[in-house]
Amino acid sequence: MPRQLRPLLLFVVCVFAILSSLADAQQRLPAEKRTQIEAAVSKFMSTTHVPGLSVAVVENAELEWASGFGFADLENHVPATEFTLYRLASISKSLSATGAMKLVEKGNLELDDPVQKYCPVFPQKSGAITTRLVMGHLAGIRHYKSDSQNDPEVGNTKHFDDPIQAGLDFFKNDPLLSEPGKQFHYSTQGYTLVGCVMQGASGAKYTEYMRQNVFIPAGMEHTLVDDRFAIIPYRTRFYHKTESGTVENADFLDSSYKIPGGGWLSSAEDMARFEVAMLSDKLLKPETRSLMWTPLKPSDGQPNGYALGWGTLSEDGIRYVGHDGGQQGTSTNFYIAPEQRAGVVVLANMDDVPVNDLSKQILKIVLQSTEKKH
Scanning 85-218, the segments in alpha helix (DSSP H) are: 91-106, 131-135, 163-169, 188-202, 206-210, 216-218
**Which amino acid appears at position 14 of this protein?**
C
Q: What is the pTM of this model?
A: 0.91
Backbone angles phi, psi at 201, to 5 degrees: -75, -30
DSSP letters, 231-291, are --TTBPP-EEE-TTS-EEEPPP---TT-HHHH-EEE-HHHHHHHHHHHHTTSSS-HHHHHH
Other CB atoms within 10 Å distance of the CB of residue 10 = 10
Q: How confident is the model at residue 250 (pLDDT cuts 50, 70, 90)?
A: very high
Model confidence at 177: pLDDT above 80 = yes
Dump pLDDT digits (tens) for 84-138: 999 999 999 999 999 999 999 999 999 999 999 999 999 999 899 999 999 999 9
Q: Report whether 331 contacts 355 (CB < 8 A).
A: yes
Which residues, at least 6 apart from 50, have a Cβ–Cβ distance to it below 8 Å?
Answer: 44, 70, 239, 331, 348, 349, 350, 353
Q: How confident is the model at residue 51 (pLDDT cuts 50, 70, 90)?
A: very high
Measured between alpha carbons, how far is residue 237 from residues 10, 43, 47, 52, 72 in Å? 31, 22, 20, 9, 6
Q: Report whether 132 contacts 111 (CB < 8 A).
A: yes
Mean pLDDT of 266-285: 98
Higher pLDDT, 316 or 82: 82
User: For 30-367, which CATH superfamily applies?
Assistant: DD-peptidase/beta-lactamase superfamily (3.40.710.10)
Q: How far apart are CA 159 and CA 144, in angstroms?
A: 17
Instruction: Domain ranges for the chain, please list them.
Output: 30-367
**Nearest-10 crossing angle of helices 91-106, 188-202:** 30
Model confidence at 80: pLDDT above 50 = yes
Measured between alpha carbons, how far is residue 338 from residues 59, 93, 178, 244, 276 in Å? 11, 19, 33, 41, 11
Altogether, the residues listed in the chain come to a count of 374
